[in-house]
Amino acid sequence: MAENLKEAVLYEPLNDKKVRCNLCNWRCAINSGDSGRCRLRKNIDGKLYSLNYHKLCSANPDPIEKKPLFHFQPGSRSFSIAAPGCNFQCVFCQNWQISQQAIDEGRIDGQSIEPGQIAELALKANCKSIAYTYTEPTVFMEFAADCGKIAKQKGLANVFVSNGFMTKEAIDLASGWLDGINVDLKSFSEDFYKNLCKAKLKPVLETIEYIANHTKIWMEVTTLVVPGQNDSDAELKQIADFLVNTCGPDVPWHVSRFYPQYKYSDSPPTPGATLQRAYDIAKAAGLRYVYIGNLPSAKAENTYCPKCRHLLIEREGYYITKNEIKNGCCPDCGEKIAGFELNS
């Protein structure tokens, strides 16, 4: 069996052929013959193997704005791939069919494709990057790493869309080829993470701090605002203050509208007024780039110069209709705009 599997990265042997996986912050100790919490990494006779390396389940060119990444190669396309699985179990997951199948149904579906082919497909689709997204990229790190290294050699950038539960070792492993990341900061409450995601908050906060202060990876943060769960003024201000104090005022924060999904279908969508309130709280806290997502016609999709308020990037949904940034700066006042390869 092991001949057809990929040996995992970031694990260590323990006694009696047990191993510890150090890829995400569950740090599962796994007996021989067993799988980790995510059901995607199996200990076979004292060696840990990835079960989803040869199981690509999605591959599509997307606007980079869909990730969402608004300050990373704006207006470009990103070749977006996923293998099944996740280390969270969010009851409102929008991609639950592929993220939760290993846990819900014991299946890992997908097809085998060589990493080099992903880069070639990205180039043929006129993409400027590869995005590891739709599911949690940490749990297919072996495939992401092989793709990412080839992508860099071919002039492509790499981005993660992640729940932020990876270890510092995993961030260090990716730092040589990972250029950008959007981290979901789902709440500022341990109870929210425990009850709605079967996860923990503290490691996510530590990931955000580590990326912001110890790597060169461009980072943006997204919070899905769920009515009655994480939408109080106090919690929204906690998140905004944390981002300002930990990452600085230039980290973009996307406050996104919730729609009923998966096992969380009884709640109404987030009111537009709630998202506007989150926007106002974030701006008052000192964040310079705040965006409202999943709300059609929201004016807070555009990028403005934080100094003179000149309209720099105008967006309609996921598409850019205007980009006036020149040499990374506002053309009117010369203010430097934070981001990665911003010019039109």
Q: What share of the chain is helix, strand, coil (3-state, %, to 5)?
A: 30, 25, 45
Tell me what the mean pLDDT of segment 47-59 comes to.
96
- Cα 241 from Cα 207, distance rounded (Å): 16
Eight-state DSSP code of residue 37: T
Q: Is the domain 58-296 a CATH 3.40.50.300 member? A: no
Q: How crowded is residue 253: how many other Cβ atoms within 10 Å of its Cβ?
A: 24
Q: Give the pLDDT band of residue 336 (cuts 50, 70, 90).
A: very high
In this structure, the strands spanning 29-30 and 157-162 are unpaired
Q: Give the pLDDT band of residue 344 (cuts 50, 70, 90).
A: low
- The residue type of 163 is N
pLDDT tens for residues 232-265?
A: 999 999 999 999 999 999 999 999 999 999 999 8
- Cα 123 from Cα 274, distance rounded (Å): 40
In angstroms, how far is the first alpha carbon of the chain from the final one?
49
Residue 3: the pLDDT is 56
Is pLDDT above 90 for 298? no
Coil, strand or helix at 223: strand
- Cα 241 from Cα 229, distance rounded (Å): 19
Distances in whole angstroms, Cα of residue 226 to Cα of each of 62, 66, 192: 25, 19, 10
- Give the position of tokens 């980079």: 64
Residue 2: the pLDDT is 60
Which strand (E) or helix (H) includes residue 62? strand 58-63
Q: String of b and e for 212-235 (b: at least 16 CB within 10 Å)?
A: beebebbbbbbbbbbeebbbeeeb
pTM: 0.97
Is pLDDT above 90 for 297? no
Is pLDDT above 60 for 1? no
Q: Residue 16, by phi and psi: left (phi above 0), alpha (psi -120 to 50) or beta? A: left
In this structure, the strands spanning 77-82 and 58-63 are antiparallel
Question: Nearest CA to 106 among 85, 134, 87?
Answer: 85
Question: Nearest CA to 138 among 167, 96, 103?
Answer: 167
- The residue type of 22 is N
- Cα 135 from Cα 96, distance rounded (Å): 8
